[in-house]
A = this chain, B = another copy of it.
Amino acid sequence: MPRAIRLGVIGAGSATFSVGLVRDICLTESLAGSSVVLMDVDRERVETMHRFAVRYAGELGAKVSFEWTTEREAALREADFVINTAQVGGHTQVERLRAWSEARGYYRGFRLKDCLQVRMMVSVVRDMERLCPGAWLIQASNPVFEGCTAMTRATGIKVCGLCHGHTGYYEIAEVLGLDESKVKAQVAGFNHEVWLTNFEYEGRDAYPLIDEWIETKSEQYWSDYHPHYGQNQMSRAAVELYKLTGLFPIGDTPRRGGWWYHTDLETKKRWYGAPLGGFDSEIGWAMYLQELEKRVQRIHHAAHDLSVRLTHEFKPRITGEQHFPLIDALVNDNEVTLQVNVPNRGAIEGIPGNVVVELPAVCSHRSIQPLQIGKLPEVLMLTHLYPRLLEAEHVVALSLHPDERVLMRMLLDDHRTKSWEEAVRFAREIMSLPEFAEMAGDIVRPRHGFDS
């Protein structure tokens, strides 16, 4: 008989995420009888989401109960599962920190926020050790790679990161004009740094089809097409990353790649298409935030307007996100292969066991069992996975044990940093920002202070 669960959702005020979550749990019949505690520090937002959830479940007649709270402990106590979708300070803080670092010469900002996110994630699993030590933590908000690595190193809580970026290969199939139902693929690496390790069409290697497209059609595609900000999968940057590594980058992977795609807006346009310059340019990102805000407003209006039939406005369709398939597999043994982020423990050769990797895994009542990936191409390791791992180790170390020396190396490794003195000044200024006050309280500094 299916077993109901108690689920805590941290950061449930995130309207877009929570709407999907409400839909999915209401539609997962084997989880009927479950109770969900929606938690957010923003009382108004979480109360709104609670209204939405209760009405939505009511319209569907789904046997799922919802509570809300602003206290994290209330969401964790006796939970079987915790989904963490929280973003410290929300987009407002991200944009404030971005503007602050842009004023210091870091176009589109220095990734300061990651450490704050990772520290928040670690504090959640530390609370779980007290309040629900046997529960699973499912990490939804970014950075999944560094966050899951830090959480699994800092505590014994069972952690799995989930992301939908690996489905990006469908976009490849679409652009290539392939019938999606005949495509098979496997994707592995680190979250937001995943690579198409296997690509088949009608049972045969389909990489030659990509090569043919690059040779005969890509230039035409790039000159005709002015992609939406979210469409980076077949960008010039993605193809160049394929040339550089031997495997095609998937999902969010081409958004990043390396400093050389991101030096200024013109360069971004060259690699990600004009006029937007991709997801992460000042134009693309502003559009994303705008659309996000519109969706949030739409959800909030609907939640408060009792004349709206929610299941008409937000159709009861499974989202395709992996959270409830994973929970259902772990709880009810509905075995399924999902794309997960868990400690490597030998699945990918050459990556230490305590680094969280993204790869397919068979999920069932037994546990999450990653498929052995083995050896990835050496050139991929050298040009992308090792450099990315080093960056991640810096973020993880700085988050778990704040140290000005590690922060200095991160700044000095940034291609935009022009001198030692600039890095010293920037490191000091960062740690005097109010956002970093708690972290600065813990920070280790060299005995004699840096020379400036």
Contacts and interface: CB of A to CB of B under 8 A. Distances in A.
Given A397-B378, A446-B243, A423 B260 contact: yes
A320 to B, nearest CB: 33
Contact of A258 (B263, B378, B382, B412): B412
A397 B382 contact: yes
Given A397-B378, A420-B260, A423-B260, A448 B243 contact: yes
A311 to B, nearest CB: 48
Contact of A386 (B259, B378, B393): B393
A215 B448 contact: yes
Given A258-B412, A378-B397, A387-B413, A448 B214 contact: yes
A394 interface: yes
A406 interface: yes
A314 interface: no
B420 A261 contact: yes
Interface residues of A, number: 44
B409 A244 contact: yes
Interface string A205-231: 000000100110000000000000000
Contact of A390 (B387, B412, B451): B387
A103 interface: no
A244 B446 contact: yes
Contacts of A412: 258-260
Contacts of A383: 405-406, 408-409
Nearest to A418: B263
Given A243-B405, A419-B260, A423-B260, A447 B211 contact: yes
Interface string A387-409: 10010011001000101011011
A415 interface: yes
Contacts of A259: 412
A419 B387 contact: no
Contacts of A332: none
A209 B171 CA distance: 63
Nearest to A393: B382
Contacts of A335: none
A267 B420 CA distance: 10
A287 to B, nearest CB: 25
Nearest to A406: B382
A405 B377 CA distance: 12
A259 to B, nearest CB: 8
A245 interface: yes
A447 B243 contact: yes
A448 B397 CA distance: 39
A395 to B, nearest CB: 10
A406 B420 contact: no
Interface in A261-282: 261, 263, 267
Contacts of A449: 243
Please provide the 10 A-B residue pairs with the shortest distance between their CB atoms, ordered closest to farther: A243-B446, A260-B420, A383-B409, A379-B405, A244-B405, A214-B448, A382-B406, A382-B397, A240-B451, A386-B390
Given A243-B405, A386-B390, 18 more contacts: A236-B451, A239-B448, A240-B451, A244-B405, A244-B409, A244-B446, A246-B405, A260-B419, A378-B397, A379-B397, A379-B405, A382-B393, A382-B397, A382-B406, A387-B409, A387-B413, A390-B390, A415-B415
11 contacts: A211-B448, A214-B448, A236-B451, A239-B448, A243-B405, A243-B449, A246-B405, A379-B405, A382-B393, A382-B397, A415-B415
Interface of A: 211, 214-215, 236, 239-240, 243-246, 258-261, 263, 267, 378-379, 382-383, 386-387, 390, 393-394, 397, 401, 403, 405-406, 408-409, 412-413, 415, 419-420, 423, 446-451
